[in-house]
Amino acid sequence: MIMNIDYNKYQDGLVPAIIQDHQTHKVLMLGFMNQAALDKTLESQKVTFFSRTKNRLWTKGEESGHFLNLKSIQLDCDNDTLLIKVQPIGPTCHTGSDTCFSETNHSGNFLEYLEQIIELRKQGDPANSYVAKMFEKGLNKIAQKVGEEAVEMVIEAKDNNKDLFLNESADLLFHYLLLLNAKGHNLAEVLNILQLRHAK
């Protein structure tokens, strides 16, 4: 990618980089880049900034795992500001918020967001993460848990306790998402099959 970026317009040879979710179009954060940060971003496909506090290149998520996967880069009309569209993995802000402006960023699809959280947490410490603990136990245990939750939901469906039924339904859906991930698939693939069937 060749861009005529004016690194001399601002102090320290850095240009602002506005980070935007490529699906929701929410602004997630603002960082700064030099040519080396841009080069590493393009090479790794994970957004990398120049940290003025650390005085070095810093890949967002290098410690937390909350990476910003690169989707596209645009240069503004004055050649001095970047608009970088990304797929965020987990929350963007160090406070745990979806954005550095304390806004939610679920694209109106919480299940898709939940799938991202599962992907992130399965690589965590099993001692501190239920998701990681389930993945440590393996595919058979995850599949077994889906069966158990399905039976529990059916049992509650035969009674009239709305809260218990809905909670068991939530448990089943969550563990189904775990199973899809463990098999290397996602909910969008399942929905696509349903849409194709509906179109027939």
Are 40 and 116 within one domain?
no
Are 73 and 131 within one domain?
no
Q: Domain for residue 5, yes or no?
A: no
- Give the residue numbers spanning the domain of 183: 112-199
What's the CATH number where 145 sits? 1.10.287.1080
Residue where a domain stops, chosen among 108, 139, 155: 108
Residue where a domain stops, chosen among 108, 131, 165: 108
| pLDDT tens readout for residues 127-174 | 988 999 999 999 999 999 999 999 999 999 999 999 999 999 999 999
Q: Which residue has 């601002």 as its token pair?
A: 10
| pLDDT tens readout for residues 41-77 | 999 999 999 999 999 999 999 988 889 999 999 999 9
Are 121 and 191 within one domain?
yes
- DSSP designation for 11: G
Q: Is 78 exposed, middle or buried (0-12, 13-18, 19+ CB in 10 A)?
A: exposed
Cα 137 from Cα 95, distance rounded (Å): 31
Are 99 and 119 within one domain?
no
Q: Domain for residue 177, yes or no?
A: yes
